Structure formats: C-alpha cells, structure tokens
C-alpha cells in the first residue's frame, strides 16, 4: 500500500524507460496548481535536454501512455512540456478505502528500518526544567514518535548533565548546611539513608546560592542620562574558597569517594522525580535516563587509546584532536580531549557517550536535538569521532533549533526577570485554556473533571502545535492568547475539528447510519480524498528533513479540507441518498482516523467532546 504519487511515479517511470529514457524522469509529484491538475511530471524537460529533442514533443509521446493508465482520468501538456495529471474518481475511492482500513491511516513505512538513537532533553541535575528546555523536549519527542511510526527501532536518551562542577557545588552546600550527615564522615562504614537529605526545592535553592558565592562581581543594570548602563559591582556574597572547595569535591566524587557518590545518587534520584513529573505533564517519555556520568568510566580508556594511536596530540599542555579541513570556510578549533590542567570537558564526555552507545545500542543513526547555537561543538565532536574511528560522522546529526521568544521578541522571562520554570509556563497555558473554554461556553454542562481534562488537552495542543508548526531552525514568538484560540492555524482548532467529526459519528450511530462504499463525486470530496492521500508523502518528507512542521501543515490542511467538505457535502441531512450518506460517513471516518494519527505524532491527544 502506498500513495498515488508513488504509484504514478513507478508507472510513468516505466513509460519513460520504454522510450529509451531514464526512468527517474517519470517522477510524479503533487501539482503546484491544484486548480489545474492533481499531479504533475516535469521529466520531459530534463529528457529533452539529454536527448536533444523538443520537450513538448517528448511530453506529447508520453501523455497518451499516461492517460491509458487505469487510475488516470486525463493528462494535459502545458507550457514547455509539463505533464498535468488528473486521477480518476475510482483511484481516489480505492485509495481512501485503503486509508480507512489501514492501521496507520495511510502513513506508510520506511523501506529499510534502522536502529536510531535520539538524544534530547539534556537537562541538568539539581535544576528544574525551564522554558529553555521546551523546544528540545517537544521536537525530540515528535521525532521519536515519527521515526517509530515509520518503522525504525528507536531509543531515546535524556542525557542528563550530572557530572560537572555543579555536583561539587551542591556537595559543598549540603556539607555546610548539614555537616553532621554521614556522607561527609570518612570513617562511616554503614548503609547510607534511603531517604534523600535534600528535596528538589533544596537543590533549586542551593545551586544558585553557591554558584553566586563564586562570583567576585555582579553585573547590575542602571539608568544614566536616560540610557541603560551595565556596571560591575562587588558581590557581597562572594567567598574566595568556594570554587576550590567545589573543585575538590567534584574531583573526589569522580574519583569514587563513597559518601559523595551516595549523596550524588540522591541528587540524581530527586531530580529525576521532578523531571518525570514535568515530562508527564508534556506527555513525553524517555527510554533511557543516562547522563554524562555513564560515559565517565570510558574516559581513561579513550584518553589512553587516542594518545597511544597519536590521534590526540599535545598542544600547550592540552591534548587535542585537530579536526579542521582545507575546505573549511571558517575557523575550526580543535577537539579538546584534556585541557592544560588534565581535566575533561564536554568534548570528552560526548566522545565517551558516542562510544558507550556504539557498544550498547549499536545505532545506525544518532540525532542530537540541541539548540542551534551548539552547532560548532557538535561539528568538532562528530569530526573527532570519525577521526578516532569510533563512529562515522555521517551517522551523527545535530538537529538544531531556534529560540522561542515572548511578544517582545526576547527569550521568555518571569515578571521579575528570571527564567520561567516550565511547570509554571504549562500552568499558565492551562489557566488560559480554561478561561477560553469558559468564554466560548464549551463544556459548560460537563463535569468539573471532564472540563479540567479538556483544558489540559487544549493547553498542550496550543503549546506543542505553536512550537512544532514553525520551521525548526527558525526563532518564533509564542503568543499564548493567539495560540489558545479555536480559530486559525492552532492546536485547539485541530482539537475542535476532531471533536466535530466525533460528534458526527455519534449522531450517525444514533440514527443507524453506517459507513459504506466510497463514492467520490463532488469537488470537495476529491479535495479531501487527495489530502488524505498526501499523508504518507508529508510524513516521509518530515522524516527525511527532521522537520515536524510538515506533519503540522498536513493535519491543518486536512482539517481545512474537511471543513469545506462538511459545509458542501451534507452527511446526515434529510433527503441525502443512503448510499451517499454511507460514502460520506466513510470519508469522515478516514479523516478522523488520519487526523488523530497525525496529531499523535506531534504528541497531541484529542478529547471525545468539547
């Protein structure tokens, strides 16, 4: 089972080949002018150049052969040799019947499934999820859903930041506030407490507190002569010893100090509980909750290996891998294996993670869904991985993305100017969704529990669709008032479209009307059937380009096509022949099936009613 464009491409390819031309010239795609035709083939122009013939002459030979195909109604030669193809009603009826019966609603599958690792989330231990984590989480989740749906074996990994200086800072903070805990007693030989001595609130307080103590100066904003001026002022909380204490604690943790390891595990466990709560709110799940620490055990082996094979070389006391190429048009700094103090950084831990995944997961492809501003870092790491012989650069991809900004065009902040916690942002969206539902009167007679569930679904639909409907690589402005609206290109509009079809299904059941054989006659029925057929192509393009906005575009266009169909092709209206009712109901069922399937791929769940 495949879409009409692929079937036509195969058949038209045979026709070109039969004329002694390259079969690839028979590639068929959706028409640029759907008011003129359903599909088009531009191969005659390329064929004319290769064969040194007139393109319209070639198109004239090909057109009647295409028109003779069973699924084609007509073919027109336009312009210099464009082949405009209109398919038959029977072809559309057969295709929509397949879509209705298909468990994947016509979404298709990849030809060769792969083992794919998707790295997204990337939060730090002891820090709550904030608004800056939203895009990686939503985009990464959509990609894992899409890749699984199309048949790949996918493993998602959150890759927590759990092994850096922040761990040492937290150990210092807890030791100073609770010095009598057994974690700090070198002579303690018993079992450490199962219950954590700190909560997530404690961690959220301690990290910025002790990070602040390492800064000798603070930057303050003042107004002078009507202009904004930034000045450095002494930090009254500064302590000269905190950095050294944190560095020592970090080194002892990484060296395996028993008490510190036990306390660190408590930090990680407490953080994961909070993160899983936030992920639950977003409907996101991970297969693995690994972190930088999981790669740490491989670093001594990697350092020794790369030094011994002279892949890494010494430079000013550091050990680096030169990754620059003659073709580079910009400076490409070397990959840093060890700094001049002999310490490892993100380059080394990312290399360790690549090797760990190679040994345990054996991925054919690894996607890193991380802010576009990290592009240079990943290019260095990917090049170094191939030079080291650990992984092919082509199998490692950085899926960069732009920033999500407020109406002022700047990154989201709280009213106090701080970073907005993701939990608070989601709550704001839920409050706005409830407010909008009350304004419209939707669900006024439902139970409080059902209204709350609908508001939650509306809020998440607003957040996810607003993010994913934008081109991944671009910055965009998030306007909560606009995106919670039930009109326009929004998530709530799509929920309403799905709910409207569900309402139709309930009414049809009450009236004893059942779906029957497809019968495509009206223009609106053709448009809807063609949009249903476009699902596989939309998913394959989103898959190839790692761009979820293609899925968003498809489901929105599907909802628009159904709205026109709903208006112009009545289903339950008195006087409509029974066979027409049955056909249109089947077309509506296929629409609902595909709409919900498409929405599920971007992490949106539809309510039963609104």
80 neighbors 56 (Cβ within 8 angstroms): yes
**Contact (CB, 8 A) for 128 and 422:** yes
Q: Locate 126 and state its tokens.
A: 């002891």
* Least reliable range by pLDDT among 80-89, 104-113, 341-350: 341-350
- The DSSP 8-state label assigned to residue 330 in this structure reads S
How high is the pLDDT of residue 409?
78
pLDDT digits (tens, 9 = 90+) for 546-574: 999 999 999 999 999 999 999 999 999 99
Q: Where are the domains of the chain?
A: 4-87, 164-282
| Largest separation between any pair of C-alpha atoms in the chain | 92
Q: C-alpha angle with apex 253: 247 to 255, nearest 5 degrees?
A: 100
Element (H, E) at 429: helix 422-440
Output the six-digit token pair for 469: 């409907």
Average pLDDT estimate for 276-295 = 91
The CATH number of domain 4-87, selected from 3.30.1360.70, 2.10.25.10, 3.40.50.300, 3.60.21.70: 3.30.1360.70
Give the whole-angstrom CA distance, residue 466 versus residue 483.
Answer: 6
**pLDDT band, residue 181 (cuts 50/70/90):** very high
pTM equals: 0.92
Confidence of residue 405 (pLDDT cuts 50, 70, 90): confident
User: Mean per-residue pLDDT for 314-332?
Assistant: 95
Per-residue pLDDT of 417-444, as tens digits, reads 567 888 888 999 999 999 999 999 998 8
Determine the pLDDT at residue 343.
Answer: 79
pLDDT beyond 80 at 339? yes
CA 371 to centroid of chain Cα atoms: 12
pLDDT at 227: 82
C-alpha 273/C-alpha 122 separation (Å) is 15
> Over the Cα atoms of the chain, what is R_g?
29
> Quick check: 587 and 519 in contact, CB under 8 A?
no
């Amino acid at each position: 089972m495949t879409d009409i464009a692929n079937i036509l491409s195969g058949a038209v390819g045979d026709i070109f080949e039969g004329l002694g031309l390259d079969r690839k010239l028979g590639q068929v795609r959706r028409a640029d002018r759907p008011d003129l035709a359903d599909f088009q083939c531009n191969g005659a122009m390329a064929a004319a150049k290769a064969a040194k013939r007139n393109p319209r002459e070639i198109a004239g030979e090909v057109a009647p052969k295409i028109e003779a195909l069973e699924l084609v109604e007509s073919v027109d030669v336009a312009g210099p040799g464009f082949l405009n193809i209109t398919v038959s009603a029977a072809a559309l009826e057969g295709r929509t019947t397949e879509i209705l019966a298909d468990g994947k609603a016509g979404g298709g599958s990849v030809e060769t499934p792969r083992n794919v690792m998707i790295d997204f989330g990337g939060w730090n231990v002891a820090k709550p999820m904030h608004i800056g984590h939203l895009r990686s989480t939503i985009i990464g989740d959509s990609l894992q859903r899409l890749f699984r749906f199309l048949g790949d074996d996918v493993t998602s990994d959150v890759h927590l930041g759990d092994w850096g200086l922040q761990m040492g800072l937290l150990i210092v903070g807890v030791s100073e506030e609770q010095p009598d805990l057994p974690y700090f007693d070198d002579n303690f030989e018993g079992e450490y407490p199962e219950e954590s001595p700190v909560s997530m609130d404690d961690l959220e307080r301690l990290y910025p507190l002790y990070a602040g103590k390492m800064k000798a100066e603070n930057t303050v904003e003042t107004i002078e002569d009507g202009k904004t001026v930034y000045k450095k002022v002494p930090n009254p909380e500064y302590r000269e010893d905190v950095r050294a204490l944190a560095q020592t604690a970090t080194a002892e943790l990484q060296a395996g100090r028993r008490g510190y390891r036990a306390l660190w595990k408590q930090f990680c466990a407490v953080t994961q509980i909070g993160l899983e709560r936030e992920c639950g709110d977003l409907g996101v799940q991970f297969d693995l909750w690994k972190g930088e620490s999981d790669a740490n055990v491989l670093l001594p082996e990697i350092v020794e290996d790369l030094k011994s094979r002279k892949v890494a070389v010494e430079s000013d006391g550091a050990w680096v891998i030169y990754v620059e190429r003659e073709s580079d048009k910009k400076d490409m700094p070397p990959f840093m294996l060890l700094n001049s103090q002999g310490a490892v950084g993100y380059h080394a831990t990312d290399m360790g993670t690549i090797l760990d995944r190679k040994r345990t997961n054996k991925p054919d492809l690894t996607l890193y869904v991380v802010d576009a501003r990290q592009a240079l870092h990943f290019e260095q790491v990917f090049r170094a991985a191939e030079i080291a012989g650990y992984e092919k650069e082509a199998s490692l991809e950085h899926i960069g993305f732009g920033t999500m900004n407020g109406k002022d065009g700047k990154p989201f902040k709280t009213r106090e100017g701080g970073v907005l916690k993701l939990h608070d942002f989601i709550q704001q969206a839920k409050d706005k969704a409830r407010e909008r539902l009350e304004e419209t009167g939707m669900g006024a007679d439902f139970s409080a529990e059902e209204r709350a569930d609908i508001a939650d679904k509306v809020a998440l639909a607003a957040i996810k669709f607003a993010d994913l409907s934008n081109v991944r690589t671009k910055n965009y402005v998030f306007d909560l008032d606009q995106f919670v609206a039930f009109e326009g290109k929004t998530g709530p509009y799509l929920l309403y479209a799905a709910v409207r079809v569900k309402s139709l299904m309930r009414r049809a059941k009450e009236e004893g009307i059942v779906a029957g054989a497809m019968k495509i006659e009206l223009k609106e029925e053709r448009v809807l059937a063609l949009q249903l057929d476009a699902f596989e192509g939309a998913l394959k393009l989103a898959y190839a380009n790692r761009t979820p906005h293609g899925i968003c575009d498809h489901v929105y266009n599907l909802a628009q096509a159904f709205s026109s169909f709903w208006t112009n092709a009545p289903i339950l209206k008195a006087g409509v022949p029974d066979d027409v009712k049955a056909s249109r109901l089947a077309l509506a069922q296929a629409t609902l099936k595909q709409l919900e399937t498409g929405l599920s791929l971007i992490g949106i769940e539809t309510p039963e009613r609104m």
